[in-house]
A and B are shown apart, each in its own frame.
Chain A
Amino acid sequence: MRTATVLTLVSLTLLAIPLVAPTYYVTLMLPFMAYGVILLGLNLLFGYTGLVSFGHALFIGIGAYTGAVLTTRFGVRQMELILPAAMLAAAVVAAPVGALCVRYVKIYFGMLTLAFGMVFYTFLLKFYKLTGGDEGMRMLRPWLLGSEWAGFSKTAYLIGPYYYFSLAVLVLATLLMWRIVRSPFGLCLKTIRENQLKAESLGVSVPLYRWYAFMISAVYAAVGGALLATPTGNVDPTLAYWTHSGNIVFMVLLGGFSSFFGPLLGAFVFIFLQDTVMSVFPYWRLIFGAVLAFIVIFAPGGLMGLFARRRPVEVSRG
């Protein structure tokens, strides 16, 4: 099993990174793992269900602000409580939003999600007293496994306990998503993407399944958002801005939306490439825009599509 070998090697590398890699690169792994969780969820919507959200950063924002509000306003510091709270908050928002959005597909779905994302962004920006406006809020260092890790400096905390905590969350999220996409439920989603009419005639309730996918991806995004907030120590409204939504779709496409691990690879390459480019040339958007244009035109299967050309990628107008 080639995949199994690769996975084992990757897991061992991830476990060993804090022990061998320079601190700086370990801290770069933290946003990678957070985005990894977000993208796994986003790809359930994008790659598996065929819906492109341009407002998914809304749920990243919800996750991050849940963490910030809980740690600064309510003194809830346990990450084991913050994550379920973020998931719950995302689910509460995603239930009505998703129910409205999944009635539409393609460009209208994208526009509606964009509009909801911008509603939340404007709310974060304008309701200064609740959200701190454009300055955002602080996210205090959360406790992990019931311990404050008081003896750890900020960096030691991040590259030690927090790294392994994030890794555990990412691994759990990956295993769960693996089960989801292999389940009859996941197959139904793929059927909907490939042939909606056929799915309907087979008795699959298309809007309901789309709604489930929307809910799951929103919850994933909130978990990732909460994970993302800790290393920065601060949350601000740009987390929910529409360009952030665009960037995460970009990451999925970069890695390859038709592959299960593509989004994870996309997040990894995006973050490390961005860091490298920015260290030599501050205008990373110029380079990344060109990369995105290249992928869209020449390699719609993303990096995974370049590695493994087993499955042809279906990109033509349906």
Chain B
Amino acid sequence: MGGVFHAAILFLVAAGLQLVFGVQKIFNLACGSFYALGAYTGISAVAFFTGHGGAPALFVIPLALGGLAAGLVGLVVERGLLRFVYDRDETFQLLLTFALVLMLEDVIRLTWGTAPASTGGLYLAYGQVRLLGAAVPVYNLIVIAASLAIALGMGFMLTRTAFGRIIRAAADNREMAEALGVDMRSVYARVFTLGTMLGTLGGALVIPATAAMSEMGIELIVEAFAVVVIGGLGSMRGAFVGALVVGILRSVAISVYPELEMLLIYLIVIAVLLWRPRGLFGAATA
């Protein structure tokens, strides 16, 4: 179950990465940094909430709101930096997101300090249940359910709403969409903000279960990267399956042969890249 919880979080971050890559064709290395930013914002939001007499049992509300609010930084980044490089070679786009990785890591250190931070004992505020012979915190189940709901919501949004159709059209053929009167500037701004929010929400939701560290972003990006490669770049279904594969494999590897933990995942990534560079669901775009 720990694996599924991890997969639920990974899915959120990877879905943000996929959405941005699918539409804007930018591989956002900073998605891990957004995740870290969401984690710290979530901690601050919860601390503020409980500090002002909020009931500890309701802590998920400020947590999620804090995570979503942190996602607004995506709008700033898109309007302030990324929009200048859409017509550049993807190398430069990649390096610009690397610049974000560097900056955000120190922004977090400056704002929240270098010591690990956490929400304290709220993780078990909802108690535990016994599932398949193991004690599972109810909080994990809430996050898994929320992640599933977001996955379904994203699917609905992409296939059934006008904005979703525009996103898919923009992903498929930017020029054509533009010629048909789609305002790409606004689509790009919204897509990037939405993608960032998925990442920051993932960071906020993971945080009751673990401690936030300023390096958590650069560590997560390689996992999110594994997810999207296994699933196929730009595919939402791919993000879902990839997250499950990586999350579960990791927890199995940790319990069976810890040395292999991430090694196994990278080897699978390499195998997938070599065998099917477009990933398992690469044909479909966001």
B contact residues around A12 at 8 Å (CB) = none
Query: Does A14 sit at the interface, judged by CB under 8 A?
Result: no
Q: Could you tell me if A296 and B96 are in contact, using CB atoms closer than 8 angstroms?
A: yes
Query: Does A253 sit at the interface, judged by CB under 8 A?
Result: yes
**Residue with the greatest number of chain A CB neighbours at <10 A, chosen from B81, B90, B225, B263:** B263
* B239-275 interface bits toward A, Cβ cutoff 8 Å, 1 = contact, 0 = none: 0000000000000000000111111001101100110
B contact residues around A104 at 8 Å (CB) = 273, 277
Q: Select which of A100, A122, A290, A300 is within 8 A of B274 by beta carbon.
A: A100
Kindly provide the distance from the CB of A271 to the nearest chain B CB, expressed in whole angstroms: 16
**Alpha-carbon gap, A112 to B233, bound state (A):** 13
Q: Could you tell me if B98 and A118 are in contact, using CB atoms closer than 8 angstroms?
A: no
A contact residues around B233 at 8 Å (CB) = 107
* B100-122 interface bits toward A, Cβ cutoff 8 Å, 1 = contact, 0 = none: 11111111011000000000000
A contact residues around B95 at 8 Å (CB) = 246, 249-250, 253, 292, 296
Q: Could you tell me if B94 and A289 are in contact, using CB atoms closer than 8 angstroms?
A: no
B contact residues around A6 at 8 Å (CB) = none
**Alpha-carbon gap, A283 to B101, bound state (A):** 13
**Alpha-carbon gap, A318 to B89, bound state (A):** 7
Q: Could you tell me if A108 and B101 are in contact, using CB atoms closer than 8 angstroms?
A: no
Query: Does B88 sit at the interface, judged by CB under 8 A?
Result: yes
**Alpha-carbon gap, A285 to B104, bound state (A):** 8
Q: Could you tell me if A289 and B102 are in contact, using CB atoms closer than 8 angstroms?
A: yes
Q: Could you tell me if A118 and B262 are in contact, using CB atoms closer than 8 angstroms?
A: yes
Give A243-266 interface residues, CB cut-off 8 Å to B: 243, 246, 249-250, 253
A contact residues around B100 at 8 Å (CB) = 289, 293
**Alpha-carbon gap, A254 to B117, bound state (A):** 35
> Chain A: interface residue count, which band?
35 or more
**Alpha-carbon gap, A242 to B27, bound state (A):** 15
Q: Could you tell me if A296 and B92 are in contact, using CB atoms closer than 8 angstroms?
A: yes
**Alpha-carbon gap, A229 to B89, bound state (A):** 34
Q: Could you tell me if A300 and B270 are in contact, using CB atoms closer than 8 angstroms?
A: no
* B191-225 interface bits toward A, Cβ cutoff 8 Å, 1 = contact, 0 = none: 00000000000000000000000000010001001
**Residue with the greatest number of chain A CB neighbours at <10 A, chosen from B27, B222, B226:** B222
**Alpha-carbon gap, A119 to B274, bound state (A):** 15
Q: Could you tell me if A290 and B99 are in contact, using CB atoms closer than 8 angstroms?
A: yes
Kindly provide the distance from the CB of A269 to the nearest chain B CB, expressed in whole angstroms: 16
A contact residues around B110 at 8 Å (CB) = 283, 286
- Taking CB as reference atom, which chain A residue is nearest B263? A122
Q: Select which of B85, B229, B259 is within 8 A of A297 by beta carbon.
A: B85
B contact residues around A118 at 8 Å (CB) = 222, 262, 266
Given known contacts A112-B273, A115-B229, A123 and B88 CB-to-CB distance under 8 angstroms: no
Q: Could you tell me if B102 and A292 are in contact, using CB atoms closer than 8 angstroms?
A: yes
Q: Could you tell me if B270 and A112 are in contact, using CB atoms closer than 8 angstroms?
A: yes
Query: Does A152 sit at the interface, judged by CB under 8 A?
Result: no
* B46-88 interface bits toward A, Cβ cutoff 8 Å, 1 = contact, 0 = none: 0000000000000000000000000000000000010011011
Kindly provide the distance from the CB of A212 to the nearest chain B CB, expressed in whole angstroms: 20
- Taking CB as reference atom, which chain A residue is nearest B91? A52
Q: Could you tell me if A289 and B106 are in contact, using CB atoms closer than 8 angstroms?
A: yes
Q: Could you tell me if A115 and B270 are in contact, using CB atoms closer than 8 angstroms?
A: yes
**Alpha-carbon gap, A128 to B87, bound state (A):** 46
**Alpha-carbon gap, A139 to B274, bound state (A):** 36
Kindly provide the distance from the CB of B235 to the nearest chain A CB, expressed in whole angstroms: 15
B contact residues around A52 at 8 Å (CB) = 91, 94
Q: Could you tell me if B273 and A288 are in contact, using CB atoms closer than 8 angstroms?
A: no
**Residue with the greatest number of chain B CB neighbours at <10 A, chosen from A52, A123, A293:** A293
B contact residues around A253 at 8 Å (CB) = 95
**Residue with the greatest number of chain B CB neighbours at <10 A, chosen from A114, A290, A318:** A114
- Taking CB as reference atom, which chain A residue is nearest B226? A115
Kindly provide the distance from the CB of A133 to the nearest chain B CB, expressed in whole angstroms: 10
Residues of B near any A CB (own CB < 8 A): 27, 29, 81, 84-85, 87-92, 94-96, 98-107, 109-110, 218, 222, 225-226, 229, 233, 258-263, 266-267, 269-270, 273-274, 277
